Amino acid sequence: MAKTHKTSQPGPPRAPSPPFPSSKRIPTSPRKVFLLLVTAGFFSWAMLYLLPIHLPRLSSPYSSSSQAGSRLLSPTKVGSLDLKHRVVMAPMTRNRASEDGIPSDYTATYYEQRATDGGLQITEGTIIAPEAGGLANVPGIWNAQQVEAWKKVTGKVHEKGGSIVCQLWALGRVADPALVPKVYAPSDIPSSNGSRDLTVMSETDIDRFVEHYRKAAVNAVEAGFDGVEVHTGNGYLLDQFIQNTSNHRTDPYTPHTYLLPLRTLLTIASTLPSTNLGFRISPWSTFQDMLEPDPVRTFGGLVGRVLGDVPGLAWVHVIRPEEGGEDGVESIREIVREKGKGTAFIVAGGYDPESAKQHAENTDDLVAFGRYFISNPDLVRRIENDYPLAEYDPNTFYSQGLEGYIDYPDHGGRV
């Protein structure tokens, strides 16, 4: 609609304004004028002070009226990755890959549903080579078909503005002997539920596995991942080399030399920048017959050695104890602060939104969520808005098929 403009033509003559009544006339004496101005100024100040002033609030995509200022939803940096919040999707085995270790077509949908602009996802454990496997229907990253399948995943995540890193995994003594020619281990010490027929790794075997890790990291870059995390916990191969309960070697690979995880991380760091590299540990886990007498000493020593030998490491990822143990976590965090020179600290282990928010307020950590990310693909949005969480179904954690994988709706009911 065109704007209208007033013309300069005069209108009808304006009627004279009536004079003020004598009782309302403006005072003209200097004293009275001064008193009037003072009174008017006082009332103006009072009105400004007492009446609420509504100004627009600045907000980010990860803040709301109920969550404004929450550190959990504030930006941070992990190595070379600029993140918009500190909610991390933890690595979770889901057993949806083919028998050949190829991620399924709907794996891309699974990660896409849970991706957020400026968020970080860590993939499920991904096998570095056929001889490092031994668990059915888990993905690998040792051949071209697997790399092509992972490209679909990383592409979908990047379309949503997210970052995703690949967790590199070797099973060691807990591998299923029906699925691998040999079950490799640091020493001839079976786990209670594992194979009795173990192949103790020679130094040649160790060299070969280090090369598997290097090649897997190269493939991860080819697949479009933003980095890699080396799985060094939960009783799998690298963890087995670290702990006395599974390693009785007397060569250079004795437990507290940390030689195999150090070689692995250093070799990967020669392939991709250390600012795109991290590792995960579970110092207090008893899973698969693990647990050191002094977890803080053992794993604090590991973290200190790694940070000294691999400068610029992007993150250290720690699984906290199921009960208590915060002092131990703090001890390892302090080592990261002192020696990490910018290394981020990711903590995982049974957090819900409220406990995660409280934890983030008290630390500079990122918080990794596992099971709640399964049943709440829009978990970050739910945390942001205080929406209730959907319950997960453990019966579908490791089942094959779509149920319990990509059929959980978001808060609005969309799948």
Are 219 and 147 spatial neighbours (Cβ–Cβ below 8 Å)?
A: yes
Separation of first and last alpha carbons in the chain:
44
Question: Left (φ > 0), alpha (ψ -120 to 50) or beta: where does 180 sit?
Answer: beta
Label residue 357 exposed, middle or buried (CB < 10 Å: 0-12, 13-18, 19+): buried
Residue of 236, 253, 372, 405 marked active site: 236
Q: Is the dihedral of CA 337, 339, 342, 343 positive or negative?
A: negative
Q: What is the DSSP string of 64-123?
A: -TTTTT-GGGS-EEETTEEES--EEEPP-----S-TTSPPPHHHHHHHHHH--TT-EEEE
What the block records as the tokens of 134 is 């031994």
Are 295 and 244 spatial neighbours (Cβ–Cβ below 8 Å)?
A: no
Tell me which amino acid residue 68 is. A
The β-bridge partners of 164 are: 121
The β-bridge partners of 316 are: 279, 345
Residue 236 is among the residues annotated as catalytic for this protein: yes
Task: Provide the annotated active-site residues.
Answer: 236
